[in-house]
């Protein structure tokens, strides 16, 4: 098994972060610092990160949280702000899968399965996310086709999304996208002349927040985990 894949399987971090740990010289294999994420390792090797031995995790944990406003998606914060991890009352060491902005709400996944996290966030696997968006003015029918065809943002990214209007006053829409970059939906709406008043992720892949009040969480069902892994070919 490749070293970076082994490290992600321990739940330390997603694979890209594991690459960073390796490149920075914090990983040793049998006492020797290695800088190659692709080096092959097996059960007979002793692997340490920051001088601590790490072992492959046999059982992973999977959680969904209905994120409320006002919480940041980080594990620690020097400013003492409220963190999403503070809402997860468990002794399981899990990490958020991607981010939701402080004032955004909805489905936020947590796991210590680094390989799954990597694939869920990698654009190559194309996992759909659905958001409920409230706007400051009615959404134009003509903009539905514009978004479907794709628009170019000021960041240089070309993005597209499937949109449907879900309120009589046309100020609420649902948008389905595969990309997951920071502030993406706000940038898309801004490009079309809209201001986002609220953003609520209602679905990530096959996972929904049905039955969860804001701030509540639960472990994923076995059937949900199986389906989620199928989406990313695990």
At 181, which CATH number?
A: 3.30.70.1560
111 and 216 fall within a common domain: yes
194 and 135 fall within a common domain: yes
Position 141 scores a pLDDT of 94
Q: How many domains does the chain have?
A: 3
What's the pLDDT band for 158 if we cut at 50, 70, 90?
A: low
Position 100 scores a pLDDT of 92
- Please say if the pLDDT value at position 227 is more than 90: yes
- Please say if the pLDDT value at position 86 is more than 70: yes
135 and 188 fall within a common domain: yes
Residue range 79-93: average pLDDT? 91
Position 58 scores a pLDDT of 66
Alpha helices, DSSP H only, in 10-56? 15-23
Residue range 224-232: average pLDDT? 95
Is the sign of the CA dihedral 152, 153, 156, 157 positive or negative? negative
211 and 117 fall within a common domain: yes
Q: How many whole angstroms separate alpha carbon 144 and alpha carbon 79? A: 40
- What the block records as the tokens of 21 is 């740990």
Q: What is the pTM of this model?
A: 0.76
Question: Is the separation of the CB atoms in 127 and 178 below 8 Å?
Answer: yes
What's the pLDDT band for 154 if we cut at 50, 70, 90?
A: confident
138 and 111 fall within a common domain: no
Position 57 scores a pLDDT of 66
Position 11 scores a pLDDT of 77
- Please say if the pLDDT value at position 178 is more than 90: no
CATH of the domain at 221: 3.30.70.580
181 and 145 fall within a common domain: yes
Instruction: State which residues form the domain around 40.
Output: 3-53
- Residue whose C-alpha is closest to residue 193's, from 135, 118, 128, 108: 135
Task: Report, as residue numbers or ranges, the catalytic residues.
Answer: 101
The pairing of beta strand 196-204 with beta strand 105-111? parallel
Is the sign of the CA dihedral 204, 207, 213, 215 positive or negative? negative
Residue 130 contacts by C-beta under 8 Å, 6 or more apart in sequence? 174, 175, 176, 201, 202, 203
187 and 222 fall within a common domain: no
113 and 213 fall within a common domain: yes
What's the pLDDT band for 120 if we cut at 50, 70, 90?
A: very high
């Amino acid at each position: 098994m490749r070293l970076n894949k082994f490290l992600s399987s321990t739940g330390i971090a997603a694979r890209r972060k594991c690459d960073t740990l390796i490149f920075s010289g914090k990983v040793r294999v049998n006492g020797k610092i290695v800088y190659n994420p692709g080096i092959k390792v097996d059960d007979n090797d002793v692997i340490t990160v920051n001088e601590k031995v790490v072992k492959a995790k046999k059982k992973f944990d999977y959680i969904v949280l209905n994120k409320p406003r006002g919480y940041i998606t980080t594990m620690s914060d020097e400013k003492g702000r409220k963190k999403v991890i503070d809402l997860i009352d468990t002794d399981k060491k899990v990490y958020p899968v991607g981010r939701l902005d402080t004032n955004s709400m909805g489905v936020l996944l947590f796991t210590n399965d680094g390989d799954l996290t990597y694939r869920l966030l990698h654009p190559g696997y194309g996992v759909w996310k659905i958001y409920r968006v409230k706007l400051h003015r009615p959404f134009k029918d003509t903009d539905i086709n514009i978004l479907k065809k794709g628009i170019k943002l000021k960041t240089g990214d070309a993005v597209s999304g499937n949109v449907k209007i879900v309120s009589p006053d046309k100020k609420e829409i649902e948008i389905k996208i595969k990309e997951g970059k920071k502030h993406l939906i706000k940038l898309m709406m801004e490009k079309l002349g809209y201001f986002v008043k609220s953003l609520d992720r209602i679905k990530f892949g096959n996972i929904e927040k049905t039955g969860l009040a804001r701030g509540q969480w639960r472990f994923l069902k076995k059937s949900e985990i199986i389906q989620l892994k199928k989406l990313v070919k695990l």
